[in-house]
Amino acid sequence: MVGTKDLEAHFEFECKACEDGRCSKADVESILAERKGLKDFYEAFKEHIRECKRMTYGQYMFVIDREVLPEAVLWWHNHPKFKETHMSTAVGTDERPLNGHFAYMPFLNVQVEPFKMDENYWVFLKVYTPADDPSFPSVAAKLPAALWIEREVKDLLGFKPVGHPDPRRLILPEDFPDGVYPLRKDMDYRHSPITEPRTEYRETPEGTTLVPMGPVHAGVEEPAHFRLFVKGEKIVDVDYRGFYSHRGIEKTGEGRLTYNQVLFLAERICGICGYQHSVSYAMAVERLADVEIPDRARYIRTLLLELERIHNHLLWVGIAAHLVGYDTGFMHAWRIREPVMWLVERLTGNRKQYGMNIVGGVRRDLLDYRKEEVLKVVKEIREGTKKFLDIALNTNTFIKRAEGVGILPYKVAKAYSVLGPTARASGRKIDARLDQATKTAMAYHEVDFKVPVYKEGDVLARVLVRMDELFESLWIVEQLIDQMPDGDIFTPIGNLPEYQEALGFTEAHRGEVVHYVMTGEKNKVYRWKVRAPTYNNLPAVPEMLKGYHVADAPIIIASIDPCYSCTERVQFVDVETGKVKVLTEAEFNELSIKYKGVF
Amino acid sequence: MAEAPSHSEKLKSWDRMKVEGFSKKAPVTTPYPFTDIEKPPEFRGIPHINPEKCIGCGACVQACPPDALIMEWDKEHGVKRLTYNAARCIRCARCIEVCPTGAMEPTTRFEIATDNKEDLVEVVEHKLAYCEECGEYLDFTERQIEYVRNILPKEIFDAYALEDRIKLTQEEKMRRTVVKLRELESNVYPAFMLVEKGKEKKGGEE
C-alpha cells in the first residue's frame, strides 16, 4: 500500500498557503513589495518582527514583540505621508488551546491615498503574551483611540494594559465578580455569576454640579448613562457608563453556531444597520474560503446597503429635528422614509432584518417588476427630500440649534479614530466603501459617486454630510439598477481553512463596520469580533460636549448617530450546546427564570 | 373560468396603495389595530409545518440559528418529535430553504401575540422505524425510509440488498458485515448457513 509519505516523496505538492502568502515560509520580500509603506515599517522594526504574512487580499499581519507595541501602532497612526491612517480597533484572543499564549492584535486602516482601494491596506500587529502574564504596554496612554478596546480586553479576557490612564470596568455589569473572564475558552458561555454590585463612577470635580443624563438617552431611547459635570449651564467634564445591553453574542457565535448561522445573529446585532453587519461577516468568511461571489449577488448586496443608508439617514435627520424641537421636520422626514421600508419589504421579505445574505451570495433574486418599483421610490424620495431640506435648512429653529454646536476639531477626530459622517464633517477624508478593497463582496468600485467632506465639524455639518450622502446613495441605486448583470446569485462554499483570520468591513451610515473572523476546526468560528462604528465615535462625545450648554447635550450626543446596541453587541440566544440538542419546555422556562434578573 | 395568474404576476399586481387605502391626509399611516392589514406576498412571516409532507429528517433543526426548531427522540415509545416554537423564531426562513420535501411552508402571518404560550408551539410526531432483528427502534423515521427508497436510483443499488438492510440498526448492520467478512476471509462459517439465515429473516419480514 502506498502511504501519503511515499506520495509526498514522489510529487511536489503546491502549497496553497504559500501561494496566498498566509504561510510563514512565504517569501517576505515579495509580500513587502506589494504595498507602499510595508517595507519601511519592516526596516524600522526589524529586530522586533517575528513573522510577516499576508492574510488575504490587502490585509497584512506582523507578529511583533509586545515591548514595542505602542511605538509600532503610533508609527502607523502618525505616519507623515499616510494622513488618514487610523487605528481601527483591536482584538484579543485566547489562543491557549492552540499555542499556549494569549494574543492581542490592534489593527490599522492604512490609507496610502484616499479612495484608492487597491493601494490601501489593513495592517494587523499581533502580540503574543504568555498565559501566566497577559500584560502589554498600553497604547491608550498615547492614543485615545485605544482607550475603550484596552478596557474591553481587560474585562473580557483579563489582559493587563500597563499604564492605561482609565482602567475602570467598561463592559461587564457592576455585579459581575472580578477574575471571571467570559471570553476565555475555559469559561462556558452559560455560566453567569453574580456578586454584590460595585459602581465606579468618576468623582465630581470640585466646583461643579452633577447632572445625570440617562440611563436611557432622551432621543434615541437606548440605554446610555452620561454624567455631566456642569458649572452653571456650561458642561465642564463628562463621564460615560454604557454597555447596559452587553450580552455576549461573540461568545455565542464562537460556542455553538455554524458559520452560516452566525450570519443571522450578526444581522440582528443592530436594528438599523443590520445588513451592514451581515455583509461584513459574509465578506470575512468569503475571504477565508477564498471564493469569488457572482456579480449579480454583489450588485444586489450593494443595492440593499444603499437603500439601508437612505432610510437610516432619513430616520436620523428626523430624530435630529425632533431633538432640536422641530417636530414638523421629524414627521416629514419619517413620512419620506416610509416608502423605502415598504420597498425593501417587497425586495427582501421584511422591513428590517432582510435575511438576504448567505455566505457565498444572496438568497432572493431581484425580479423585473421590483426594479421598476425601486426606480419609482428613488424618484419619490429625491423629490421629497429636496423639498424637505429646502424647508428645514431655512428654519431658524433648526439652524440656530445646530450651527456652531458640538464642534469636533480634525485633530481630535483623528486621535479618537472617529469614523463615518461624523469624521467627514470634521474634514477627514475617509470612506470604507472606497478606501479598502470592498470589491470582493460589493460593487462600489463599479459605480460613480462622490464622498462629501465638510470642514466645520459642528452638528450642522453632520446634517449636511448625511444629506449629501443620501443624494449620492440615490444616484448609486439608479446606477446599480441600470448596470445590474445577469447570472447566478450564489456560489457554494467548500470547507473553511482551519485557524485562519480575515477581516470583513463595510461603510455603514455611521462609519466602518468591522468583523474579524478566525476559523476553528470543523467549519466553526473560533473567534468572532464585531466592532460597530459607534464604538469609536462615542469616546469622542465627551470632547464634543465640553464647553456647551446642558440643553445642547442631547443633540450633540445624537449627532454622531449613536447605536448603543451595535456597540454593546446585544442579542443573546440562550441555548444548550452539544451535538444533539434536546431541551424540554420546562427546562426552557427554568432557564428563563434563572436568567431573568441577569440579562 | 379565467386562468389563474402565475405566481410572479400575482406578486407584480399586489399594490399597497390599493390594499391599505391611504388618504391624502395620512399618506403613510393607517389606524392599524382597528383595521386589518395585509402584508405583501413576499413577506416572510412565521413558517408552518405541514405534517403530511414532513418526514422528520431534521434538516431544519440543523439550519435553525435560534433553535426555534428542536428534535426529540423517545426511543421507548418509538416516537420522534419535531417542535417548532414561534416565540423563538427569528423569521429567517432558513428552514424553508433547506427542507427537502417542502414541508416547511412560508406564510405571511405576523400577528402572533397571544396570552397563552402554547399557541405558539407546533409539534409533529413521527413513528420511528423498528428493527425486527434486535427489537429496538432506529434513529430515523419510517417516512425517512420511504423517502430514501423513492429517491435512490434503482439501477445503481441492489434493490433486494437495500430492502434487507434498510430497517436494521447500525449495530446489526455492523454485525452482519463482520460475519460476512469473516466468512469471506477464513471460511469459518460455511456459506450455506448465512444464506439460510438471510432467507429466514426475509420470510419473517413479509
Inter-residue contact A56 to A107 (CB < 8 Å): no
- Section A577-588 average pLDDT: 43
Quick check: A73 pLDDT over 80?
Answer: yes
pLDDT at position B193: 54
Residue that wins the pLDDT comparison between B22 and A95 = A95
Quick check: B205 pLDDT over 50?
Answer: no
**Which residues, other chains included, contact A23 with Cβ-Cβ below 8 Å and sequence gap of 6+?**
A15, A17, A53
The whole-angstrom separation of Cα A443 and Cα A340 is: 21
Residue A80 CA: distances (Å) to CA of A5, A112, A428 = 52, 11, 15
A268 touches chain B (CB under 8 A): yes
C-beta atoms of B93 and A347 within 8 A: no
pLDDT digits (tens, 9 = 90+) for A286-343: 999 888 899 999 999 999 999 999 999 999 999 889 888 888 999 999 999 999 999 9
Q: Contacts of residue A353 in chain B, CB cutoff 8 Å? A: 90-92
Residue B135, Ramachandran bin (φ over 0: left; ψ between -120 and 50: alpha; else beta): left
Q: Contacts of residue B16 in chain A, CB cutoff 8 Å? A: 342
Q: Can you list the domains of chain B with their CATH numbers?
A: 40-129 (3.30.70.3270), 131-205 (no CATH)
Tell me the backbone φ, ψ of residue B62, rounded to 5 degrees.
-65, -35
Q: Does some domain include residue A487?
A: yes
Work out whether the CA dihedral A355, A361, A367, A370 comes out positive or negative.
positive
* Domain containing residue A132: 21-169+181-188
Report the CATH number that the domain containing residue A320 is assigned in CATH. 1.10.645.10
pLDDT at position A482: 92
C-alpha cell at A316: 436620523
Number of Cβ within 10 Å of residue A537's Cβ equals 28
Quick check: A186 pLDDT over 80?
Answer: yes
Residue B194 CA: distances (Å) to CA of A150, B24, B159, B191 = 71, 85, 19, 6
Quick check: A116 pLDDT over 70?
Answer: yes
Tell me the backbone φ, ψ of residue A461, rounded to 5 degrees.
-60, -35
In this structure, the answer to whether residues A388 and A502 fall within a common structural domain is yes
Q: Does some domain include residue A454?
A: yes
Q: Does some domain include residue A223?
A: no
- State the SS3 of A250-312: HHHHHHCCEHHHHHHHHHCCCCCCHHHHHHHHHHHHHHHHCCCCCHHHHHHHHHHHHHHHHHH
Q: Which of A154, A188, A222 is the last residue of a domain?
A: A188
Chain B residues 145-164 with a CB less than 8 Å from chain A: none
Q: Does some domain include residue A596?
A: no
Spell out where B48-158 has E strands. Answer: 48-49, 69-74, 79-85, 104-105, 121-131, 136-141
The whole-angstrom separation of Cα A47 and Cα A26 is: 19
Q: Give strand pairing partners of B141.
A: B128
* Mutation site, A580, A583, A584, interface B, largest B CB count within 10 A: A580
- Section A183-210 average pLDDT: 83
The whole-angstrom separation of Cα A296 and Cα A286 is: 16
Q: Identify the three-state secondary structure at position A271.
A: coil
Number of Cβ within 10 Å of residue A141's Cβ equals 16
Q: Does some domain include residue A484?
A: yes
Q: Does some domain include residue A539?
A: yes
- Section B49-74 average pLDDT: 90
Cα distance from N-terminal residue to C-terminal residue, chain B: 50
pLDDT at position A597: 44
ipTM reported for the complex surpasses 0.85: no
| Percentage of chain A modeled with pLDDT above 90 | 33
Q: Kind and range of the H or E element at A247? A: none
The whole-angstrom separation of Cα A514 and Cα A533 is: 8
Q: Identify the three-state secondary structure at position A225.
A: strand
Q: Of B28, B92, B97, which is closest to A335 when you measure between CB atoms?
A: B28
C-beta atoms of B12 and A369 within 8 A: yes
Quick check: A467 pLDDT over 90?
Answer: yes
In this structure, the answer to whether residues A367 and A489 fall within a common structural domain is yes
Q: Kind and range of the H or E element at A94? A: strand A86-95
In this structure, the answer to whether residues A284 and A145 fall within a common structural domain is no
Report the CATH number that the domain containing residue A79 is assigned in CATH. 3.30.460.80
Report how many domains make up chain A: 2
Q: Does some domain include residue A5?
A: no
Confidence of residue B204 (pLDDT cuts 50, 70, 90): very low
Confidence of residue A476 (pLDDT cuts 50, 70, 90): very high
The whole-angstrom separation of Cα A77 and Cα A85 is: 6
pLDDT digits (tens, 9 = 90+) for A327-344: 899 999 999 999 999 999
Q: Angle at CA B175, nearest 5°, toward B172 and B180?
A: 125
Tell me the backbone φ, ψ of residue A264, rounded to 5 degrees.
-75, -30
Most confident of the following: A44-48, B24-28, B187-191: A44-48
* Mutation site, B28, B32, B71, interface A, largest A CB count within 10 A: B28
Lowest-confidence range among A6-15, A296-305, B31-40, B85-94?
A6-15
pLDDT at position A26: 64
- Section A342-349 average pLDDT: 89
Q: Does some domain include residue A422?
A: yes
pLDDT digits (tens, 9 = 90+) for B138-195: 888 888 888 888 887 777 766 677 777 777 777 788 888 888 887 777 665 555 555 5
pLDDT at position A11: 43
Q: Which of A139, A156, A188 is the last residue of a domain?
A: A188
pLDDT at position B157: 67
Q: What is the mean pLDDT of chain A?
A: 84
In this structure, the answer to whether residues A408 and A554 fall within a common structural domain is yes
- Section A243-251 average pLDDT: 80
Residue A53 CA: distances (Å) to CA of A20, A64, A73 = 9, 12, 17
B93 touches chain A (CB under 8 A): yes
Q: Are strands B69-74 and B79-85 parallel, antiparallel or unpaired?
A: antiparallel
Residue that wins the pLDDT comparison between A361 and A15 = A361
C-alpha cell at A529: 469580533
pLDDT digits (tens, 9 = 90+) for A519-566: 988 888 899 999 888 888 888 888 888 888 888 888 888 888 887 767
In this structure, the answer to whether residues A321 and A456 fall within a common structural domain is yes
